[in-house]
Amino acid sequence: MVIKRESVSAVKVYEKNGISFFHIQSEKFKTVRVDIFFIEPLNKDKAVCNAIIPFLLKRGSERYPDQQKLAMRLEELYGAGLGAAVMKKGENQIIHFSADFVSDQYTVGKTKLFDEIGSLVIEIITKPVLEDGLFNNNYFEQEKGNLIQRIKSRVNDKMHYSLQRCMEEMCKGEPFAVYEDGDEEGAKALTREKVMEDYVTLLRESPVYVYISGNVNDNEIKTFVNKFDSLQRSNIRSIVVPQIKKDITEVKRIEEPMDISQGKLCLGFRTQTEANSPDYYPLAIYNGILGGGVQSKLFQNVREKESMAYFAFSRLEKFKGLMVVCSGIDISNREKAENVIMEQLKAIENGDISDFEMDATKKTFETGIKSMQDNQGAMVDFFLSQHISNVNEGIDTFLDRLLEVEKQDIVKISERITPDTVYFLTSLSEENS
């Protein structure tokens, strides 16, 4: 039986001054969402500046110079929400602003919320609260402290920290090794002058992707697009294309001691596969079979059969062509766990892939992609990932290509997987023993 799926796509509606505008049309949501992404190359010197900017801007604007006034204005706009964030995809650092609000058709008197909130978002981005031509000092000091605390707190989630540290060690000396929030030393050295200089450059030169998702018409979109004319744009940079393929002559082994009782073992691999390659689809299925869920080889063998791991999974960093296998283990099981993990990769390479593993992995993707279409933010992230990878396929085509993958495609892709780094987060007592 063929299941008919609703087709969802991001249609490019305008492009001007290095700003690309996309409309994700859907009538299933009662809300409209606007997402604005400034794309910056990852750079150790600029990362902390970029990381503080969205949070400074979110503090207010010329007309709404504090959180109380801004919150009251958002309440007037039917409880609209504003968001700000920093993330990285490959070797690009992304500064993100978002707004979500009730669709005009559900407001009293058909209030033009899209127009009102569009103006507010542009004002927040382009007209921040200033003192003597620089960011408000109180806001700056508070957000600087928050940034330092965010950088320090990355260690609190040991699993996520280990995953990040493994990839950073893999890519030492490459832009990807830069943490999305920068480093603590750089954050402590931030000045208002430096951040203002970086902010002006960001608005002027960064490529920008704008997504409008929800039920809005062409005239409303055009009015919104015209609001961006207030940005002074020139010398627009290109989006960074990271180096993916790399010869590995020796596997690095890194140990980091910490006050923990459970070890975190991460094995990093180069997939040698670009995000926009047709080979990405078998790679994604490969990763799902290896460590993408309860049906995966890592879960069934490392965790269930051998009872060596509290958790075991694999994750792709598609933009940089990396794969990391992570497991939480008793420190005494380190060598055995590594051997069993490597046995699972070898099994796939040898074609030891059951029909159940194939079907369950594809079903997991199908369920996940269906669920994604119930979340506007998740759909936006999907299309942003596609566009910065220079892939124009929609959701349906993406899923179809995953479902078309066959066992021989997975075996073929497995031959490229190259061990790069073994990272082990161990206890302080282990170091001293």
Percentage of the chain modeled with pLDDT above 90 = 86
Residues 10/22, Cβ–Cβ less than 8 Å:
yes
Average confidence (pLDDT) over 160-167: 96
Question: Are 290 and 223 contained in the same domain?
Answer: no
Question: Are 213 and 311 contained in the same domain?
Answer: no
Q: What is d(CA 321, CA 166) in angstroms, rounded to the nearest whole number?
A: 14
Q: What is d(CA 36, CA 245) in angstroms, rounded to the nearest whole number?
A: 31
Residue 237 covered by a domain: no
Q: Which residue has the tokens 């609209």?
A: 80
Residue 3 DSSP SS3: coil
Residue 307 covered by a domain: yes
Q: What is d(CA 54, CA 51) in angstroms, rounded to the nearest whole number?
A: 7
Look at residue 413 in the predicted model and tell me its pLDDT.
97
Question: Are 87 and 197 contained in the same domain?
Answer: yes
Residues 139/129, Cβ–Cβ less than 8 Å:
yes
**Residue 432 clears pLDDT 70, i.e. is over it:** no
Question: Are 256 and 180 contained in the same domain?
Answer: no
Write out the two tokens for 314: 């694999």
Write out the two tokens for 430: 């282990």
Look at residue 421 in the predicted model and tell me its pLDDT.
98
Look at residue 431 in the predicted model and tell me its pLDDT.
54
Residues 350/1, Cβ–Cβ less than 8 Å:
no
Q: Is 132 left (phi over 0), alpha (psi -120 to 50) or beta?
A: left
CA angle 179/180/185 to nearest 5° reads 55
Q: Which domain holds residue 206?
A: 10-230
Residue 239 covered by a domain: no
Question: Are 286 and 321 contained in the same domain?
Answer: yes
Question: Are 193 and 296 contained in the same domain?
Answer: no
Look at residue 415 in the predicted model and tell me its pLDDT.
96
Beta bridge pairs of residue 427:
258
What CATH number corresponds to the domain at position 296? 3.30.830.10
H or E element at residue 268? strand 263-270
Picking from 360, 361, 359, 365, the residue whose alpha carbon sits closest to that of residue 398 is 365
Instruction: Report the domain count for the chain.
Output: 2
Question: Are 273 and 419 contained in the same domain?
Answer: yes
Residue 31 covered by a domain: yes
* DSSP secondary structure letter of residue 301: I
Beta bridge pairs of residue 100:
33, 81
Residue 361 covered by a domain: yes
Question: Are 268 and 322 contained in the same domain?
Answer: yes
Residues 209/390, Cβ–Cβ less than 8 Å:
no
Residues 185-209: tens digit of each pLDDT: 999 999 999 999 999 999 999 999 9
Q: Tally Cβ neighbours within 10 Å of residue 77.
A: 17
Question: Are 167 and 59 contained in the same domain?
Answer: yes
Look at residue 8 in the predicted model and tell me its pLDDT.
80
Question: Are 272 and 203 contained in the same domain?
Answer: no
Residue 241 covered by a domain: no
**Residue 362 clears pLDDT 90, i.e. is over it:** yes
Look at residue 310 in the predicted model and tell me its pLDDT.
82
> Which of these three, 230, 264, 287, is where a domain ends?
230
Look at residue 4 in the predicted model and tell me its pLDDT.
47
Residue 238 covered by a domain: no
Q: What is d(CA 265, CA 249) in angstroms, rounded to the nearest whole number?
A: 21
Look at residue 25 in the predicted model and tell me its pLDDT.
85
Question: Are 223 and 266 contained in the same domain?
Answer: no
Residue 33 covered by a domain: yes
**Residue 3 clears pLDDT 70, i.e. is over it:** no
Residues 49-94: tens digit of each pLDDT: 999 999 999 999 999 999 999 999 999 999 999 999 999 999 999 9
Question: Are 216 and 69 contained in the same domain?
Answer: yes
